Structure 1
Amino acid sequence: MPPLANRGRRLLARIIDSLLIGIPVGVLMTLVVGGYDVTRADDAGRSGVVQLVVLLAYFVYEGLMLSASGQTVGKKLMRIRVAMLENGAVPAGRPGWFRAATYSLPQLVPCCGFVFWLVNVLFCTWDKPYQQCLHDKAAKTVVVSAD
């Protein structure tokens, strides 16, 4: 098994992927549903629809990419990959999709979804020995260097 990925690389990979999906889907959805102002109560529904579509697009993107190669575009650029804990294999199929779902879909739950997401992504800072986030633990994966 390659060495564990640096947490900084993991964070940069997530930022790259979030921008790669969030910006185009957000712009497209804003064009489809019209502009909105999050400070106006009557525009809150539009904002929620845009956020929901961005979240679901990210889930599909990550599930497809992890199942195919264990890497998203951000992970490829940061030279890291997701591997199955037991044997280092690509998390093809169910593990890749389950990992993506555990990362993305809890955010659909109002209020506590964000709290779960925050605990999830910070979990790798104190987890030993594999520096796994909760979505890694759920799917039995680790993030390793792809060098």
Structure 2
Amino acid sequence: MTQPPGYGPPHPIRPPAPQYQPPAPHYGPYPPPPVYYYWPGPPPPPVSPAGVPLADFWMRLVAYIIDVVLLSVAIFVLSIPGIVVVFRRIDDVALYSDTDPTPVFTHFFVPFLLLELGIIILGMIVYYLYDVEFMHRTGQTIGKKAMKIRVVPLDPALTLTRGMAFRRYLVQYVCGSVVPFFNYLDGLWQLWDKPYQQTLHDKAAQTVVVKVSA
């Protein structure tokens, strides 16, 4: 193609300016999700079938110690007249035991054995009155009340009866007084008993010990 005369050299045809286009999106690989570590919290406290938290071992142990101290003092005070009589017998034996050995047995050993038997019987009576007649009304002895715990039936629909309290008494005190080392086994049983942390006397009476506010 030729230019007409008087025009300069031909100019190249300029292509149209390109329209602006946003850059194509470019995404890298997704980062890995964060890792969360969940530390397990403390297990929920064990509860009775009624949903009330159970008394732990130390609360029950302190309550038991309080009750034993109170009952031991009461039994000792009630035993003082018998102790006085026996010690008077000992003085009488010391006066003439060198000439006649017979009174040593009749005036010392027999009264002493009778005193021991009387203290055992007295202790059973005092424990019965305290642990059965006193406790079955509210489910609490003085020691349990001080530690804010209470004996309740395992079945929430029942109430604590004298029969339940009496079965607890038979296993805890009577068997504990007759069977060697039974008291230790009975008291420690709650440490491995699941799920209600019952002692052997709890199992005999179908009871549990729970925490209360008062």
Same-fold call, TM > 0.5? yes
Indicate the SS of the match to 2:180: helix
Residue 48 (structure 1) shift: 4.0
Is contact 1:70–1:83 with CA below 8 Å preserved after alignment? yes
Residue 8 (structure 1) shift: 0.8
- Structure 2 residue aligned with 1:24: 74
Q: Structure 2, unaligned stretches of length 5 or more?
A: 1-49, 88-107
Deviations 1:108-138 (A, max 9, x none): 43xxx13222211111111111110000000
Aligned length: 140
Is contact 1:66–1:91 with CA below 8 Å preserved after alignment? no
- Highest RCO, 1 vs 2 (Cα 8 Å, sep ≥ 6): 1
Greater Rg over alpha carbons, structure: 2
How many angstroms apart in 1 are the aligned matches of 2:185 and 2:196? 16
Q: Do residues 33 (structure 1) and 102 (structure 2) align?
A: no
Q: Structure 1, unaligned stretches of length 5 or more?
A: none
- Structure 1 residue aligned with 2:146: 77
Structure richer in helix, relative to its length: 1
Residue 26 (structure 1) shift: 1.5
Q: What is the aligned-residue identity percentage?
A: 33
- Structure 2 residue aligned with 1:9: 59
- Structure 2 residue aligned with 1:87: 156
Indicate the SS of the match to 2:54: coil
The 1:93/1:55 distance shift into structure 2, 3 A limit, reads closer
TM-score w.r.t. length of structure 2: 0.59
RMSD: 2.1
Deviations 1:22-80 (A, max 9, x none): 11222221x1211579xxx9335423432332233112210112310111111111000
TM-score w.r.t. length of structure 1: 0.83
Alignment of 1:1-147 (within 5 A): 1=50, 2-29=52-79, 31-35=80-84, 42=109, 43-87=112-156, 89-109=158-178, 113-147=179-213
How many angstroms apart in 2 are the aligned matches of 1:8 and 1:126? 14
